[in-house]
Chain A
């Protein structure tokens, strides 16, 4: 049932009803009068007859709008309730359209600022807040909320801590603490020694199947600014990226908020184990085009978040083919590359580009140390691009999100300690596998199945059997019960833009083995109350 993909070069104009301007010569007045006459007399020209008054109306609105914005508008109060729900800021849209109006109140705050006030209510943040207020502790607060909503890995922290306690101080103040190491401005995109160390680390993490060139790297204060910077570089405000759903909720903030790039979800289904299909991508691309949205790229996560899927080599090739056909970019977020626990092997985009003569200019990889090395606090992210111009632009933009110098100095020896890294990766994978297996088994015993996943810190659980109405509303009701009655914080699928209700992301890496039975017991209690109601 595949539609023939619409070629980039087809003239859109041929599909729209002809406008007066497409006919050459003649007076506009006659053109207005004749079709209107036609409308009145019920003859042809109906289309034109309806377009013209609409056009006139539109221009009238435009004129009024423009005149409205000429007069000094009274500064507005910052009440977010007056704002229409805007998911994208089009720079071309009249600002007066978006700004709330009131004649009193404190100085104006931008519409960008107002956007985020609303997002604070998303389940993702509400859940995090609840945990912070009432965190579970086996001894001190056994009734507290158990955190299953944060993709953080505590399982192998002991190894990192031990390394740091032996080496941290020396790596920063040991040796020549020369002025050039500390007191001076550093290159904003990171020290070359760190880039070299990160390149080596990335190779190791990806099983040495590919090597990375430090000069194609831009280091940023975390993967969050890496995604945002790429959004700024690859698309203009109002453009769009395709993103397979369900997806990491943070993308909404990273891509849309300041860069103003729209995200178009490409729905994946449980029937395919939430795998990505080119058909679905293509359909989404076409639909976007119909809506007048210019798709500039796609963001894929591999291993994916929240499902934990790995993309096969074939799929990677297909994605590059698709990108070439549509002339768009690919952002490959590989931040969980080292955190695989299944039997499948991770394949990086870099590996595909390495071996074939593709258009490398469209491929950009995002990485970071927050997941694979459990150091989210240190803020280390990577933009790795095969496109010189993108590296250049990203490098200049790195000034807004640079990594702190002492942290860089600390990480250089750590990442270069290949023996330590090898041991860490191996141990981490083992512990991840163990926890994943136990957790998923526990859920299975409760009749809750998980999607098959090979990586990440979470499992993607199907709790649709426990929800009353098969809808987002039903899902959120269950989420609420889980949070406030069972007191476990999980991430509902709707927060990840999943089209099938009832799926939840449960992170298990902040738990110890002993916590699992506690979690399962709490879920069991809830599932009983849910079942007794149905």
Chain B
């Protein structure tokens, strides 16, 4: 059953999945599952994931399968993994599972949802480092979760009730539809942004979104922004952050700032964290602000499942801590990373080198796309760029965009993400990831785009 990406997801009925049709033998009342279990809100049947299926069935490999589909839809950072590997290999035995008696006892048994103090401190320090000391982070406000996916869901459970809504600027990360809505029952109301001002959030757009929620009789509990943005790869301007803060204060709602790409800016001066703004305002009204972070992107360690909620609201911190019982970070991983993140020499070198390499990749892909006559949004961060294929579409419609996307997946054999999967209101934009492959593979991909575009002319 096909499910469109933008419609509110419609689950299969119990009738649809039940065995009562009796075709599998004796007709017994089959034992039912919950609405959550049968709902389609996980989105895995949407076109966004259809591209992934194409990749799974025919993955590109430089040597074994050079004509396979190149995965450009996965925002993973593999460009600096060698630094991590080198570091891990020179670590002593004790960092991996503890061999000193008391160390080990603490570690294997440690399931305190407060988290390992040394790791919390190291994480807070790392977050400061990424922001070049422009904001301070108190380890006591760091709540650990198994990944940012869990952090975002957890915050949603805490800040909103079923049926309430969060306002999110479009285009946004497709995973939010699942992570913020599936089990929580909370809705997402889009804040529409467009290319006329580089997709920045405007005061008017905020008001419009808020009012449209009100008109649907839905209570807005907060605004959630991703800064740097996914899929735009742009950072939110200081003035816009100020406007958003003023807006949430006026409406007395929350602000969640997902800063998961804050360490992946191409130049350190480009990123302004909401934490800086709060500090400048002397932390007035800070109780409504919560930051989400993770090591999956900046450190390229998504498998480690390390995320955090940093909240300026004591009650949210306490509640989030307790709720994190459903999503704790392995104590062994905390121990390992505490060592790594406390190593100032390593982290400084890593952050700097990672930035340089990402910047190099970004320049490479922008250049390559330019040669093919494709424009991109000016990006400042992230593992992807936001490219405009509008000029290559016959009609500025979602259908055209999906048709073009289908061609790219099946002919050019590139899995990229169509803007509609990100709820972009302007058809023709696509997100293209560049950090999850080698430079050679990126060359191959760029050539394919070049050839594809030429064919279209």
Q: Is the CB of B325 within 8 A of A184?
A: no
Q: How far is the CB of A119 from chain B (nearest CB, A)?
A: 8
Residues 389-419 of A contacting B (Cβ, < 8 Å):
389-390, 393, 396-397, 399-407, 410
Docked complex Cα distance between A165 and B105 (Å): 12
Asked if A313 is an interface residue, CB under 8 A from chain B, the answer is: no
Write the chain A residue with the least CB distance to B99: A165
Give chain A residues whose Cβ lies under 8 Å from the Cβ of B36.
Answer: 232-233, 236, 393, 397
Say whether, besides A184-B303, A393-B38, A404-B329, A110 and B157 are in contact (CB < 8 Å): yes
Give chain A residues whose Cβ lies under 8 Å from the Cβ of B222.
Answer: 107
Q: Is the CB of B327 within 8 A of A91?
A: no
Q: How far is the CB of A7 from chain B (nearest CB, A)?
A: 12
Give chain A residues whose Cβ lies under 8 Å from the Cβ of B93.
Answer: 165, 168-169
Asked if A379 is an interface residue, CB under 8 A from chain B, the answer is: yes
Asked if B207 is an interface residue, CB under 8 A from chain A, the answer is: no
Picked from B37, B92, B219, the residue with its CB within 8 Å of the CB of A389 is B37
Q: Is the CB of A224 within 8 A of B325?
A: yes
Binary per-residue interface labels of chain B (61-97) against chain A in the complex, 1 for a CB within 8 Å, 0 otherwise: 0000000000000101110010011001101110011
Asked if A123 is an interface residue, CB under 8 A from chain B, the answer is: no
Known contacts A109-B313, A177-B89, A258-B157; 17 further A-B pairs (Cβ under 8 A): A91-B162, A95-B162, A98-B161, A110-B159, A110-B221, A154-B105, A157-B105, A179-B78, A184-B76, A222-B328, A234-B37, A239-B34, A253-B325, A378-B331, A400-B153, A401-B150, A404-B329
Picked from B32, B81, B305, B323, the residue with its CB within 8 Å of the CB of A183 is B81
Q: How far is the CB of B174 from chain A (nearest CB, A)?
A: 13
Docked complex Cα distance between A416 and B342 (Å): 33
Q: Is the CB of B34 within 8 A of A235?
A: yes
Picked from A225, A236, A390, the residue with its CB within 8 Å of the CB of B35 is A236
Q: How far is the CB of B130 from chain A (nearest CB, A)?
A: 19
Picked from A106, A112, A184, the residue with its CB within 8 Å of the CB of B288 is A106
Give chain B residues whose Cβ lies under 8 Å from the Cβ of A236.
Answer: 34-36
Write the chain A residue with the least CB distance to B220: A72
Residues 16-38 of B contacting A (Cβ, < 8 Å):
17, 28-38
Asked if B109 is an interface residue, CB under 8 A from chain A, the answer is: yes
Say whether, besides A182-B81, A374-B108, A221 and B305 are in contact (CB < 8 Å): yes
Docked complex Cα distance between A310 and B372 (Å): 70
Docked complex Cα distance between A404 and B331 (Å): 10
Q: How far is the CB of B79 from chain A (nearest CB, A)?
A: 10
Picked from A234, A296, A362, A377, the residue with its CB within 8 Å of the CB of B330 is A377
Q: Is the CB of B104 within 8 A of A406?
A: no
Picked from A116, A164, A405, the residue with its CB within 8 Å of the CB of B305 is A405
Give chain A residues whose Cβ lies under 8 Å from the Cβ of B29.
Answer: 8, 327
Asked if B326 is an interface residue, CB under 8 A from chain A, the answer is: yes
Q: Which residue among B38, B110, B183 has the maximum number of chain A CB atoms within 10 Å of its CB?
A: B183
Q: Is the CB of B101 within 8 A of A161?
A: yes
Give chain A residues whose Cβ lies under 8 Å from the Cβ of B313.
Answer: 106, 109
Say whether, besides A374-B108, A400-B326, A405-B304, A110 and B97 are in contact (CB < 8 Å): no
Q: Is the CB of B287 within 8 A of A328?
A: no
Docked complex Cα distance between A327 and B252 (Å): 47
Write the chain A residue with the least CB distance to B182: A397
Q: Is the CB of A160 within 8 A of B330?
A: no
Say whether, besides A110-B157, A116-B319, A399-B149, A186 and B303 are in contact (CB < 8 Å): yes
Q: Is the CB of B304 within 8 A of A404?
A: yes
Q: How far is the CB of B289 from chain A (nearest CB, A)?
A: 10
Write the chain A residue with the least CB distance to B327: A401
Q: Which residue among A177, A183, A235, A401 has the maximum number of chain B CB atoms within 10 Å of its CB?
A: A183
Q: Is the CB of B315 within 8 A of A117?
A: yes
Say whether, besides A109-B159, A221-B146, A225-B327, A161 and B153 are in contact (CB < 8 Å): no
Asked if A108 is an interface residue, CB under 8 A from chain B, the answer is: yes
Binary per-residue interface labels of chain A (85-103) against chain B in the complex, 1 for a CB within 8 Å, 0 otherwise: 0000001000100110000
Docked complex Cα distance between A396 and B33 (Å): 15
Docked complex Cα distance between A72 and B211 (Å): 11
Asked if A47 is an interface residue, CB under 8 A from chain B, the answer is: no
Picked from B185, B254, B331, the residue with its CB within 8 Å of the CB of A377 is B331
Give chain A residues whose Cβ lies under 8 Å from the Cβ of B96.
Answer: 164, 168-169, 172-173, 406, 410
Picked from A75, A154, A400, the residue with its CB within 8 Å of the CB of B252 is A75
Give chain B residues whose Cβ lies under 8 Å from the Cβ of A404.
Answer: 146, 303-306, 329-330, 332-333
Picked from A78, A183, A257, the residue with its CB within 8 Å of the CB of B302 is A183
Q: How far is the CB of A397 from chain B (nearest CB, A)?
A: 7
Say whether, besides A116-B323, A234-B33, A378-B332, A110 and B89 are in contact (CB < 8 Å): no
Q: How far is the CB of A138 from chain B (nearest CB, A)?
A: 15
Give chain A residues whose Cβ lies under 8 Å from the Cβ of B31.
Answer: 327-329, 359, 361-362, 387
Write the chain A residue with the least CB distance to B89: A173
Say whether, besides A258-B183, A401-B150, A109 and B105 are in contact (CB < 8 Å): no
Binary per-residue interface labels of chain A (352-394) against chain B in the complex, 1 for a CB within 8 Å, 0 otherwise: 0000000101100000001000111111000000010110010
Give chain B residues whose Cβ lies under 8 Å from the Cβ of A139.
Answer: none
Write the chain B residue with the least CB distance to A191: B303
Q: Which 9 pairs between the two chains have the least Cβ-Cβ distance?
A: A405-B303, A377-B331, A168-B97, A165-B99, A164-B97, A404-B330, A393-B37, A377-B110, A233-B37
Asked if A63 is an interface residue, CB under 8 A from chain B, the answer is: no
Q: Is the CB of A407 within 8 A of B333?
A: yes
Q: Is the CB of A110 within 8 A of B336?
A: no
- 28 A-B contacts, Cβ less than 8 Å apart? A95-B161, A107-B159, A107-B222, A108-B159, A110-B221, A116-B322, A120-B322, A152-B109, A157-B108, A164-B108, A169-B97, A177-B88, A179-B78, A182-B81, A186-B303, A224-B325, A224-B326, A232-B183, A233-B34, A234-B37, A237-B162, A296-B34, A328-B31, A393-B36, A400-B150, A400-B183, A401-B146, A406-B332
Asked if B301 is an interface residue, CB under 8 A from chain A, the answer is: yes
Write the chain A residue with the least CB distance to B19: A361
Q: How far is the CB of B229 from chain A (nearest CB, A)?
A: 20
Docked complex Cα distance between A270 and B248 (Å): 57
Asked if B163 is an interface residue, CB under 8 A from chain A, the answer is: yes
Asked if A228 is an interface residue, CB under 8 A from chain B, the answer is: yes
Q: How far is the CB of A211 from chain B (nearest CB, A)?
A: 24
Q: Which residue among A73, A239, A329, A389 has the maximum number of chain B CB atoms within 10 Å of its CB?
A: A389
Docked complex Cα distance between A116 and B326 (Å): 14
Q: Is the CB of A113 within 8 A of B316?
A: yes
Q: Is the CB of A164 within 8 A of B104?
A: yes
Give chain B residues whose Cβ lies under 8 Å from the Cβ of A405.
Answer: 301, 303-305
Asked if B58 is an interface residue, CB under 8 A from chain A, the answer is: no
Give chain A residues whose Cβ lies under 8 Å from the Cβ of B89.
Answer: 173, 177
Q: Is the CB of B305 within 8 A of A110?
A: no
Docked complex Cα distance between A120 and B17 (Å): 40
Write the chain A residue with the least CB distance to B255: A107
Say whether, besides A182-B81, A184-B303, A233-B37, A95 and B108 are in contact (CB < 8 Å): no
Write the chain A residue with the least CB distance to B28: A359
Q: Is the CB of B146 within 8 A of A107?
A: no
Picked from A70, A237, A389, A406, the residue with its CB within 8 Å of the CB of B336 is A406
Give chain B residues whose Cβ lies under 8 Å from the Cβ of A99.
Answer: 161
Docked complex Cα distance between A108 and B399 (Å): 40
Write the chain A residue with the least CB distance to B303: A405
Q: Is the CB of A225 within 8 A of B301?
A: no
Give chain B residues whose Cβ lies under 8 Å from the Cβ of A165.
Answer: 93, 97-99, 104
Asked if B217 is an interface residue, CB under 8 A from chain A, the answer is: yes
Binary per-residue interface labels of chain B (209-251) against chain A in the complex, 1 for a CB within 8 Å, 0 otherwise: 0000010010101100000000000000000000000001000
Asked if B111 is an interface residue, CB under 8 A from chain A, the answer is: yes
Q: Is the CB of A389 within 8 A of B17?
A: yes
Asked if B300 is an interface residue, CB under 8 A from chain A, the answer is: yes
Q: How far is the CB of B111 from chain A (nearest CB, A)?
A: 4
Asked if A204 is an interface residue, CB under 8 A from chain B, the answer is: no
